[in-house]
Structure 1
């Protein structure tokens, strides 16, 4: 290998501060250029990433059965709670119902009213709603119910345990119609109901009925209008006759009014209704 002396131009280049590199020349005398730099790697533009698929939620059969069992248990517990609450409310109401006043039809059989309680010591009485007063002509009490009955009715009353009768002879404010009214006390409500069924047949058939007061002046029962009503173990009744002795027709307006005022309003509502009502507390003292 030979080294040559640089030319003037080359020498000038070295004097100007540039570095001149001379590579060795091989036997072939060829000069190899330096290798080309590698090309930059192209990057792919960023794209949207796909979301990973969400796995489907599956319920195991055992867990589903457990949920179903818990739901049924909750429904059963709720039903039991509602039933217990209903029973408690019903039990709380029973004492209140037992303290309510008894209906007039449920009067105890042993509570027989006396003469003074039914027809007090007064010359007149005025039922609720009446436009006038009834004059009391005579009062009567007997422990033999046949004294106030005629025909077969006396035996029927005695056979069903009738133990006393309270009655009075009255003069009504309506055209001076005469009234015999009262009540029979029987042994129990069942006996009174049986008598109630038999009275109509006896009265309609003319084989039995109620006598009038005063005796001989109260009018003929055969010409009068008869009304009765059963209330508990009591048989309430009235016989209405005209002062002239004429027949009282079934559609007589005075007879219907007297029956309503004496049997229903006075004997039923006032006398027996007052006995069935609970006693009122005394008023406060001022």
Structure 2
């Protein structure tokens, strides 16, 4: 008859009574019996890595540290290198600073300068935009809505030159122009505030001719703008059928590039800043 040992996690009293019971039964057995044996599980020793394994671990850790250091150094190089290149370009550009303020760029804008052809605007590498109306005013508020006019006045806006146009895309009408502010710093402040005003509906740009809107209706136009020197350049894009011009409208993006970036910045202000 086989003898068993109780589990090691049982209470000591229970283990003792069971052992007595087993021994009592063993006394009546006439055959040979096996002696009780208690075995304990062997504890496995954690072996330390051998020499080559330890060396490999050190190499892997060292390589990871070198990669991390390299990435940090590379990031710092691009950041500071980009700033140095920007500063160097500003220092070597013969037009740098010529549009920084009206102190150095003191000649007023004219309709003839901004729109020399009264019939159309020809942005570089784009089809012409037909001009329907031009306007200039010393009161910048006439070309704005809401709080934008007061913001421009605070920062020394002296004039606005703009035009209403028909885009070379079916059903799109545009108003585009530029505001002449006192200095580049003021233009930057207006730029920072403008997005909030447009998104909340508290301020924006007026169309030319003035849009016929129904009170308490949501705006259907798309607005694009940027600053260059002490100028704020913009365009307002509408659909002739009154439909919404969405923020991701590819035609509206193309119109903004054509009129604001390519024409007003590169052509008009490029000529003004040329020595």
Alignment counterpart, residue 181 of structure 1, candidates 176, 181, 196: 176
When structure 1 is superposed on structure 2, of 252-261 and 103-112 the one drifting more is 103-112
Alignment counterpart, residue 146 of structure 2, candidates 151, 170, 179: 151
When structure 1 is superposed on structure 2, of 106-115 and 133-142 the one drifting more is 106-115
Contact 2:101 2:182 in 1 (8 A): no
Cα distance in 2 between the residues matched to 1:221 and 1:161: 31
Q: Is residue 191 of structure 1 aligned with residue 170 of structure 2?
A: no
Give how far 1:274 is off: 1.1
5+ residue gaps, structure 2: 1-89
Indicate the structure (1 or 2) with the bigger Cα radius of gyration: 1
Cα distance in 2 between the residues matched to 1:200 and 1:271: 24
Match of 1:138 in 2: 133
Cα distance in 1 between the residues matched to 2:263 and 2:192: 23
Q: Is residue 233 of structure 1 aligned with residue 230 of structure 2?
A: yes
Contact 2:155 2:187 in 1 (8 A): yes
Label 1:105 to 1:204 Cα distance change in 2 as closer, same or farther (>3 A).
farther
Instruction: Quote the RMSD (CA, aligned, Å).
Output: 2.4
Classify the secondary structure of the residue corresponding to 1:200.
helix
Alignment of 1:66-215 (within 5 A): 101-103=94-96, 106-109=99-102, 110-130=106-126, 132-215=127-210
Label 1:98 to 1:200 Cα distance change in 2 as closer, same or farther (>3 A).
closer
5+ residue gaps, structure 1: 1-96, 279-286
What TM-score does the superposition give when structure 2 sets the normalisation length?
A: 0.62
What TM-score does the superposition give when structure 1 sets the normalisation length?
A: 0.59
Give how far 1:99 is off: 8.4
Cα distance in 2 between the residues matched to 1:108 and 1:99: 19
Alignment counterpart, residue 256 of structure 1, candidates 246, 249, 253: 253
Classify the secondary structure of the residue corresponding to 2:245.
coil
